[in-house]
Structure 1
Amino acid sequence: MACALILSIEVLSGCSLLNPERLVYDQQGIRIGLEADPTIARSGNQPVNDHPAILTSEEIQSLLHVIFVSGWSGTILGMVETPRPVPLFTERQLSTISSALVAAFREAKPTERVFFSLPKPDVSYSEDRTAGALFLRGRYLHVVVTDHSAFLTADTAGGDLRDVRDTKGMNLWVSNEAQAATVPDLEEPRWAPFETVHVSLNVKDTLARQAKPFPARINREARAPLFPPPAPLLPKTAPAGVSSEDLQLQIRELTSSNLELRSRLEEQTKRMEQLNQQMEQLRLELDAARSKKQPSRKSPAQ
């Protein structure tokens, strides 16, 4: 029994070393902490994060409030529906977690990232949560989302835990107040297999855009997301008070956003084609199986 006890202790300690996790904030169902960054372990040249990092609470809120997420709630209809992005974090959530994120980035090691897990807001109880991770590397803040409380988990018909492969069709978007960064291949993190929902922001560029004054500040949760339509119509003449440089900047932003939307639509089309091919293959296999099960008729004896 002593040998078994020692062996169990060694196994448990080995597991904790493989997946260390340190909580920085744990209140009212909100968990902010540090964990080993799997993108570092999967990279050949072993890049490390620029941690510890010093960011202010205002900078954290400026970086995260431009990120929106879309998805669907466990239905295949979501693949053909128009996505309706919602804020990744509500204003109240950002105000609550920003200080904890600042502390986490200051404590993070170069091989760690900051994880977050928040309950569904404005409800007394719900199993749906918003979860993901953040890390700074080079010029970029990388954001990966593994779940969001706005989209219901698919019914597993048996009470099983959520399948890690179920990303609820989520996509991350960046409003026109900023712009998603195009990360060079050499600097792109090697994401873990099931962490496919991610976006990157150029920190300095995003903060500089946020520093520009806006004509009016309205409640972000009450307004529509600032996303360009698929085919924007620009005025033939510039309105009073708008310079040509501002118009050119808007045109570049709209063009970049339209290209990103087109890419996402093409990706969804390819996904539909793959599903159709799989369904056709299943139909052929079922027909073949049925034909094998049918007994052969014997000719009557003469």
Structure 2
Amino acid sequence: MSHIPCPPVQWLRSFCLVLLLCLTSACSLWSGGILLYNQQDSQVGLQPDPTISRGSSPTENQQPAQMTTEEIRVLLSSLMVSGWSGTLVGILEQPRPVPVFTDTELNRIAEPIARAFQQAGPTERVFFSLPKSQTKYSEERTAGALFLRGRYLHVVLTDHSAFTAADTAGGEVKDLRDTKGMKLWAAAPATAATVPDAEEPRWAHFETVHLSLNVKDVIALRHRPAAPSPEASPSISIPTAGSAGIGANNGGATGAAGNQADDLRLQIRELTTSNLELRNRLDSQRQQMQVLQDQLFKLQQDLDSARPKGKTPRKSTAQ
């Protein structure tokens, strides 16, 4: 009677080792890309850039790129975002821009992102995903992607932990179209770059929250000392002997008045921006209300057409 030989112990060990290596390699993949950093529930990695295939003409990103940690910190600290939470109170509140990354988050991911750019290929982009700061039990995250093309750093934001997602009332997956009304801003002294149409990336349909920065300009502005405004500098005049003391006091008053003028100018700019944002929100809400009204009207028509028509009672004929 023949016995089936048992597999050798060495063969079993080799099989387990290969299986472990395969599982480890699979864990390094993240959202169709490669995970390069995964600490404290924060991830940084590489993924295919969808704007490459969507472009009308062949284009590539200027990557790998040698970016220092300080340069990444300067660029990312210039990003601001506004939006509203998925509640009635959040919709009625006036959106105020907040930094995309806190100082703690910048300290955590600046170096991994710099290293990711050094490894990124011309058809890839760097993605990031961070948990909500100072909160242990929250599903809200800050997520997006970055890539270098030409003179610009292009930034796309898909989610931010400062704004609560709309409640799907059933544990459903987050709707890709729910961008929480987010909009990216550039914090002074940086400004958002105006990219020519020929160089503008062809963004994916649901990646509507994006902004571009001129890398060299933003870094140069951050290290350049702020020049005094013309209003803050006192006017030059020849003081007389009797008005020397008065002239000194007037110089200080002129400087204070100049600072107040700068503050007022900044407030006016912020109010103008807020008014434009509110107007855009109202226009969007009007369009949504019109769509809902049209759908309701169509639904009423469908119900009326599907409703059985009542039979008219027959009139009794006199015998």
Superposition TM-score tier, normalisation by shorter sequence: 0.7 to 0.9
1:27-74 CA distance string (max 9 Å, x none): 110100001000001112121000011111111111111111111221
Q: Taking structure 1 as reference, are residues 198 and 257 closer, same or farther at Cα in structure 2, changes over 3 Å only?
A: farther
How far has the Cα of 1:256 moved from its partner?
9.2
In structure 2, what is the equivalent of residue 139 of structure 1? 151
Q: Distance in 2 between the 1:54 and 1:65 partners?
A: 19
Counterpart residue identity of residue 22, structure 1: I
In structure 1, what is the equivalent of residue 81 of structure 2? 69
Counterpart residue identity of residue 231, structure 2: A
Query: Which entry has the higher C-alpha Rg, 1 or 2?
Result: 2
Q: Taking structure 1 as reference, are residues 266 and 47 closer, same or farther at Cα in structure 2, changes over 3 Å only?
A: farther
How far has the Cα of 1:288 moved from its partner?
1.9
List gaps (5 residues or longer) in structure 1: 1-15, 216-234, 243-249
Asked whether 1:285 is paired with 2:302, we answer no
In structure 2, what is the equivalent of residue 178 of structure 1? 190
In structure 2, what is the equivalent of residue 240 of structure 1? 233
Work out whether residues 85 and 91 of structure 2, in 8 Å CA contact, stay in contact via their aligned partners in 1.
no
Asked whether 1:274 is paired with 2:287, we answer yes
Asked whether 1:129 is paired with 2:145, we answer no
Counterpart residue identity of residue 276, structure 1: M
> Which is richer in helix?
2
Alignment of 1:138-157 (within 5 A): 138-157=150-169
In structure 1, what is the equivalent of residue 52 of structure 2? 40
Work out whether residues 176 and 253 of structure 1, in 8 Å CA contact, stay in contact via their aligned partners in 2.
no
Work out whether residues 135 and 142 of structure 1, in 8 Å CA contact, stay in contact via their aligned partners in 2.
yes
How far has the Cα of 1:214 moved from its partner?
5.5
Alignment of 1:104-253 (within 5 A): 104-213=116-225, 238-240=231-233
In structure 2, what is the equivalent of residue 295 of structure 1? 309
Counterpart residue identity of residue 310, structure 2: S
TM-score by length of 2: 0.73
In structure 1, what is the equivalent of residue 109 of structure 2? 97
SS in 2 for 1:143: strand
How far has the Cα of 1:265 moved from its partner?
4.6
1:159-179 CA distance string (max 9 Å, x none): 111111211111111122210
Q: Distance in 1 between the 2:183 and 2:216 partners?
A: 24
How far has the Cα of 1:23 moved from its partner?
1.6
Counterpart residue identity of residue 46, structure 1: P
List gaps (5 residues or longer) in structure 2: 1-27, 235-254, 256-262
Q: Distance in 2 between the 1:48 and 1:259 partners?
A: 37
Work out whether residues 120 and 130 of structure 1, in 8 Å CA contact, stay in contact via their aligned partners in 2.
yes
1:8-41 CA distance string (max 9 Å, x none): xxxxxxxx99x74112211110100001000001
Work out whether residues 78 and 169 of structure 1, in 8 Å CA contact, stay in contact via their aligned partners in 2.
no
- Cα RMSD of the aligned pairs, angstroms, is 3.1
SS in 1 for 2:157: strand
How far has the Cα of 1:257 moved from its partner?
8.0
Q: Distance in 2 between the 1:137 and 1:264 partners?
A: 29
Work out whether residues 25 and 100 of structure 1, in 8 Å CA contact, stay in contact via their aligned partners in 2.
yes
Counterpart residue identity of residue 309, structure 2: P
In structure 1, what is the equivalent of residue 94 of structure 2? 82
TM-score by length of 1: 0.77
Moved more, 272-281 or 282-291: 282-291
Q: Taking structure 1 as reference, are residues 45 and 260 closer, same or farther at Cα in structure 2, changes over 3 Å only?
A: farther
In structure 2, what is the equivalent of residue 52 of structure 1? 64
Asked whether 1:31 is paired with 2:43, we answer yes
Q: Distance in 2 between the 1:108 and 1:192 partners?
A: 20
1:132-168 CA distance string (max 9 Å, x none): 0000100100000111111112111111111112111
Counterpart residue identity of residue 285, structure 1: K
Q: Distance in 2 between the 1:200 and 1:277 partners?
A: 33
Moved more, 266-275 or 140-149: 266-275
In structure 2, what is the equivalent of residue 231 of structure 1? none
- Deviant stretches of 4+, over 4 Å: 76-80, 252-266
Q: Distance in 2 between the 1:155 and 1:80 partners?
A: 16
Moved more, 97-106 or 123-132: 123-132
The aligned length equals 260
In structure 2, what is the equivalent of residue 224 of structure 1? none
Q: Taking structure 1 as reference, are residues 259 and 49 closer, same or farther at Cα in structure 2, changes over 3 Å only?
A: farther
1:170-224 CA distance string (max 9 Å, x none): 1111122210111111000000111111011011111111012359xxxxxxxxx
